Amino acid sequence: MTDLPVERLGPAETRAVAERIAGAFRVLDVTRWLVPDEAKREAVLADNFEILVDHAMRHGMVHGTADRAAIAVWFPQIGEPAPPPADYDARLAAACGEWTPRFQHLDELFETHHPHADHHHLAFLAVAPERQGQGLGSVLLRHHHALLDAGGVPAYLEASSERSRDLYARHGYRVAEPFRLPDDTPFYPMWRDALG
């Protein structure tokens, strides 16, 4: 599994990447809070994630396994930050409808807890549900960590479950004090120093 090909993805795959993330994340506690309506959850998530994946195609890096079963979305945050997504508020409202205030609340939590030191931010690591537990996420992490370690760049993420927190810990991330959604669902901010 360690030699599985990893490819950088381009704008033509933006929607497919957003749908992959939505399919992987629809069962998480956080997405149940964001979109309580199970029948609408995956579609709303895909529309929301499309905004961020589109932004990453312009200002970040999107990698996937060759079969696209696993996806990683990174934002370099070195020096001056990238501008926010164009027309973000209007696009967010169009994507999230009645649940827009919940997504805005989550955005504010992320902003409040985000570190200011230079780093790469792992916004999403998603694996197709039927392929989880096969090491695909680790393949993508090792791929990007090699680039970060070569440049002496640390990494940051917000783990949304104990399972993902434990995966990241195995890859050298240290967990900080969790922050919580209004329903008490925790996020685990995690930091990885570059190895070298």
Cα 131 from Cα 113, distance rounded (Å) = 31
Over the stretch 134-151, which tens digit does the pLDDT of each residue have? 999 999 999 999 999 999
Mean pLDDT, the chain, rounded, equals 95
pLDDT above 90: percentage of residues in the chain: 93
pLDDT value at 1 more than 60: no
Residues across the chain: 196
Give the pairing of strands 119-127 and 155-159. Answer: parallel
High-pLDDT (> 70) share of the chain, %: 98
Question: Are the beta carbons of 196 and 154 closer than 8 angstroms?
Answer: no
Q: 151-169, pLDDT tens digit by residue?
A: 999 999 999 999 999 999 9
Is the pTM of the predicted complex or chain greater than 0.85?
A: yes
**Domain boundaries along the sequence of the chain:** 10-192
Give dist(CA 16, CA 193) in Å, integer.
31
Where would I find the H helices in 97-191? 100-113, 136-151, 162-170
pLDDT tens digits, 27-75 = 999 999 999 999 999 999 999 999 999 999 999 999 999 999 999 999 9
CATH superfamily of 10-192: Gcn5-related N-acetyltransferase (GNAT) (3.40.630.30)
Distances (CA, A) of 106 to 64, 126, 131, 140, 152: 26, 19, 28, 25, 30
Identify which of 52, 65, 63, 67 has the alpha carbon closest to the alpha carbon of residue 18. Answer: 52
